[in-house]
């Protein structure tokens, strides 16, 4: 991988999709002016993450995706779309795209683990809206080897480990943790994925909007392969930046050769 500046845009989605999209493009332009070469948006960045309302928020005819591709091409930047609601036939998928400076999609990933939980203060059933994705990949682009997960996927360490075994140096995770699970597990989980796979991990969350029915945790994070937090947002709307240094990755893997010391004779991880 190369040394480059990564930015995460923690926007605050309201119920006005057009205003949300315009605000995101304002943030993208600001991040680009400050030298970011890769910019990452949150999970379903253009609408509050309220499950019962998301069925009507699909990106029909790839309208939002095409706008993002055009922006990346015009500004000559890499861009992770965050996630969009993608319609395939009658099914809806929670899908993220990695777009290159030519405006082309170099990686597409649909959320594989759906957040179906019933906690004392929280009940969510993503499977009522979304269909599970069934494919993961790594893109080898001009910045390095990049993999993507979406939110709840990060709780399943096999996913990140498989990406690392396939060469991922950076894992991007558009996410929308809530104020129940976020304080307990957000930072520790993302730092764990970075440490155990010795790669950079970037988690992009929406900001917390108290005027909507879903309170996102915020606290977008950029973490290095040693587990250090390079940048962290608060709960409000902001952009965070960090320079990713490939020397940190190579030195970490040399000091603790975890991936080389795996016992394939005792355990194996198979991917499609």
Catalytic-role residue among 9, 69, 80, 151? 151
Does the annotation count 87 as an active-site position?
Answer: no
Catalytic-role residue among 69, 77, 80, 111? 111
Contact between 237 and 41 under an 8 Å Cβ cutoff? The reply is no
From the list 47, 71, 72, 69, the residue with the least C-alpha distance to 58 is 47
From the list 100, 42, 26, 25, the residue with the least C-alpha distance to 217 is 42
Residues 6+ apart with CB under 8 A from 106: 98, 99, 100, 139, 141
* 182 to 178, 220, 238, 263: CA distances (angstroms): 5, 11, 18, 33
47: its two tokens = 């609408």
Does the annotation count 30 as an active-site position?
Answer: no
Q: Where are the beta strands (DSSP E) in 42-176?
A: 78-88, 91-99, 105-110, 116-119, 122-125, 138-140, 145-148, 170-174
CA atoms within 13 A on the CB side of 47: 16
114: its two tokens = 């759906």
From the list 63, 253, 86, 89, the residue with the least C-alpha distance to 168 is 253
Does the annotation count 43 as an active-site position?
Answer: yes
Which residues are identified as catalytic?
43, 111, 151
């Amino acid at each position: 991988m190369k040394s480059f500046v990564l930015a995460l845009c923690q926007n605050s989605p309201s119920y006005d999709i057009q205003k949300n999209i315009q605000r995101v493009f304002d943030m993208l332009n600001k991040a680009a002016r400050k030298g970011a070469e890769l910019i990452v948006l949150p999970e379903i960045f253009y609408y509050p993450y309220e499950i019962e309302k998301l069925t009507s928020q699909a990106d029909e005819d790839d309208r939002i995706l095409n706008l993002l591709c055009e922006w990346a091409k015009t500004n000559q930047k890499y861009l992770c779309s965050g996630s969009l609601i993608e319609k395939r036939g009658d099914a809806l998928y929670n899908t993220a795209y990695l777009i290159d400076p030519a405006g082309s999609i170099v990686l597409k990933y649909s959320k594989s683990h759906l957040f179906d939980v019933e906690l004392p203060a929280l009940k969510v059933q993503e499977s009522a809206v979304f269909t599970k994705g069934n494919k993961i990949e790594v893109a080898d682009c001009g910045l390095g080897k990049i993999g993507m997960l979406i939110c709840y996927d990060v709780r399943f360490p096999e996913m990140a480990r498989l990406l690392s075994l396939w060469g991922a140096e950076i894992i991007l995770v558009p996410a929308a943790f809530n104020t129940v699970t976020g304080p307990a597990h957000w930072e520790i989980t993302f730092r764990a994925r970075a440490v155990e796979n010795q790669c950079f991990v970037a988690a992009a969350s929406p900001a917390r909007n108290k005027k909507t029915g879903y309170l996102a945790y915020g606290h977008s994070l950029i973490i290095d392969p040693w587990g250090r937090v390079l940048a962290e947002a608060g709960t409000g709307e902001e952009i965070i930046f960090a320079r990713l240094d490939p020397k940190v990755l190579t030195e970490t893997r040399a000091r603790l050769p975890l991936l080389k010391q795996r016992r394939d004779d005792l355990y194996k991880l198979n991917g499609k």
